[in-house]
Amino acid sequence: MADPVKPQGCTNLKLHQLARRVARLYEGDMRALGLRNKQYPLLSHVVKLGPIGQAALAARLELDPSTLTRNLQPLVASGWVRVEPGADARSHHVVATPAGRALREQAQKGWKRSQTALNQRLGLERVARLHAQIDECLALLDGHDDEGPNG
């Protein structure tokens, strides 16, 4: 009988290494437009879903509300999004400005170039399998985000 499969190394480290290498492929196209990698998906979601409440946007992106607020600050400062008052004093809506919409359109072309380059380097089948594995792992971990190493 064969030995059971045993992962070698730290999964967290390996995922971070992969994420950093993939991010490098996208950085050039985003940086040329004045965006950072983390800003494009945020801007893109605001354009697609906005106006959207901050709490709903944080939930959609699976971000802590305070992290979302921090990540929005450079987009607001650059004039690409606005945060407007909501129905009550505690709620706010995020809206893309015309400049933000135009930037998202430009950035989308660069993002697609980067994705195509990644697909070519890794191969379409491998990328599709990677996406499926990530989706499966996210589903398995859903609801277990707050548990520590002892479950």
pLDDT digits over 7-23, tens only? 888 999 999 999 999 99
**Residue bearing tokens 């605001």:** 46
Average pLDDT of the segment spanning 103-124:
95
Beta bridge partners of 96: 81
pLDDT digits over 119-146, tens only? 999 999 999 999 999 999 999 998 665 5
- The pTM is what? 0.79
Question: Is the pLDDT reported for residue 90 higher than 50?
Answer: yes
Nearest partner of 108 among 16, 35, 5, judged by Cα: 35
**Residue bearing tokens 């492929």:** 25
pLDDT at 151: 43
| CATH code at 18-141 | 1.10.10.10
What CA–CA distance (Å, rounded) separates 31 from 12? 27
With contact defined as beta carbons under 8 Å apart, do 67 and 42 qualify?
no
Domain boundaries, the chain: 18-141
Nearest partner of 83 among 112, 54, 40, judged by Cα: 54
Question: Is the pLDDT reported for residue 117 higher than 70?
Answer: yes
Question: Is the pLDDT reported for residue 39 higher than 70?
Answer: yes
